[in-house]
């Protein structure tokens, strides 16, 4: 059961913590807060959360690294679906939440931004140093020669090979995946590495794959250097994000979680809030930077 807590609301269970927007504002006012963001921050940009009301995780198991590497058919399915999904991801723009996070960073309240999102929207909002824990859909790597190239280039090549696939009402996932009819997948032509003819993979961490160790360590360092951790729009279902919440809590640091619904990190949180992120973060920024 999901327990929603709102500012000023009653304590609603053993896991309830002191809540309220004022608590999050106090946390930020102390400056040097690390942010960990998830899919919930991008829903207001039109990218559905996996587990939100319109999320489609339950209808389709995501591609695993093992299947992608082992199976040409798996890669064809991935790239066909991603070819359609990328059009929506590439069109998406940062929302008020991303912009407020960047405002909080520029004002010194936020010291670091770590995101589980692969949509590039923190960077699009100006947070160039955001650490993309799970990589980014805007880059492609060759599994054979290691060459990195841009998704925009690959997108042009895939369009030349396949045209533009029009799929009405395609259900988009935050990893750029959409559901496609089998016939479209069967007919799809994938593009090899231009340098070596090898296998191209998006520069994102698939299910069944680990986040590179140096990237994890960098994030631990950012959390260790911060005074507190603020989680925005993540249910912390996967360990790759949850471990930073545990790290902060073990270090005796306050952890605030703003998310629609319960999270796996609630037991480590000093504050939990269920509020819309765009409006909430904008309010926090305005209050903190008011003359």
As measured in angstroms, the least distance from the Cβ of 198 to Zn ion is 4
The total of other beta-carbon atoms located within 10 Å of residue 133's CB is 24
Report the binding-site residues: 142, 145, 193, 196
As measured in angstroms, the least distance from the Cβ of 191 to Zn ion is 11
Active-site choice (4, 98, 134, 218): 134
* Cα separations in angstroms, 10 against 18, 26, 89, 284: 9, 20, 39, 22
Report the relative pairing of strands 33-37 and 110-115 from DSSP bridges: parallel
| Residue closer to Zn ion, measured from CB, 70 or 145 | 145
Contact 284, 28 (CB under 8 A): yes
| Residue closer to Zn ion, measured from CB, 22 or 196 | 196
Report the binding-site residues for Zn(2+): 142, 145, 193, 196
As measured in angstroms, the least distance from the Cβ of 192 to Zn ion is 8
Backbone angles phi, psi at 183, to 5 degrees: -65, -35
| Residue closer to Zn ion, measured from CB, 142 or 211 | 142
User: Residue 122 and residue 90: Cα distance in Å, rounded?
Assistant: 13
**Please, which residues have CB within 8 angstroms of residue 147's CB and are 6 or more apart in sequence?**
141, 193, 195, 196
| Residue closer to Zn ion, measured from CB, 25 or 144 | 144
Whether residue 122 lies in the annotated active site: no
**Please, which residues have CB within 8 angstroms of residue 96's CB and are 6 or more apart in sequence?**
44, 278, 279, 281, 282
Contact residues for Zn ion, defined by CB under 5 A:
142, 144-145, 147, 193, 195-196, 198
Closest CA to 92 of 172, 210, 201, 35: 172
* Cα separations in angstroms, 237 against 193, 197, 226, 291: 34, 37, 23, 39
Closest CA to 111 of 264, 267, 248: 248
As measured in angstroms, the least distance from the Cβ of 132 to Zn ion is 22
As measured in angstroms, the least distance from the Cβ of 149 to Zn ion is 9
Residues labelled as active-site residues: 134
């Amino acid at each position: 059961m999901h327990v929603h807590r709102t500012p000023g609301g009653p304590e609603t269970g053993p896991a309830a913590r002191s809540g309220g927007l004022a608590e999050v504002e106090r946390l930020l006012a102390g400056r040097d807060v690390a942010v960990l963001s998830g899919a919930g921050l991008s829903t207001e940009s039109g990218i559905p959360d996996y587990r939100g009301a319109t999320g489609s995780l339950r209808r389709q198991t995501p591609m695993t690294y093992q299947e992608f590497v082992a199976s040409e058919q798996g890669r064809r399915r991935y790239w066909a679906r991603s070819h359609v999904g990328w059009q929506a991801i590439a069109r998406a723009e940062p929302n008020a939440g991303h912009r407020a996070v960047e405002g909080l960073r520029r004002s010194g309240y936020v010291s670091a931004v770590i995101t589980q999102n692969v949509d590039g929207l923190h960077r699009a909002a100006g947070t160039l140093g955001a650490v993309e824990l799970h990589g980014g859909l805007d880059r492609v790597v060759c599994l054979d020669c290691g060459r990195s190239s841009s998704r925009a280039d690959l997108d042009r090549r895939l369009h030349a090979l396949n045209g533009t696939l029009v799929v009405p009402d395609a259900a988009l996932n935050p990893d750029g995946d959409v559901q496609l009819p089998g016939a479209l997948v069967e007919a799809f032509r994938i593009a090899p590495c231009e340098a070596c003819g090898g296998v191209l993979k998006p520069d994102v961490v698939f299910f069944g794959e680990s986040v590179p160790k140096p990237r994890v360590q960098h994030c631990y360092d950012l959390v260790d250097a911060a005074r507190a951790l603020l989680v925005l729009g993540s249910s912390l279902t996967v360990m790759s994000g949850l471990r930073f919440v545990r790290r902060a809590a073990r270090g005796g640091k306050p952890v605030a979680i703003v998310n629609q619904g319960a999270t796996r990190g609630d037991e480590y949180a000093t504050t939990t809030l269920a509020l819309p992120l765009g409006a909430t973060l904008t309010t926090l920024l305005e209050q903190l930077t008011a003359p």
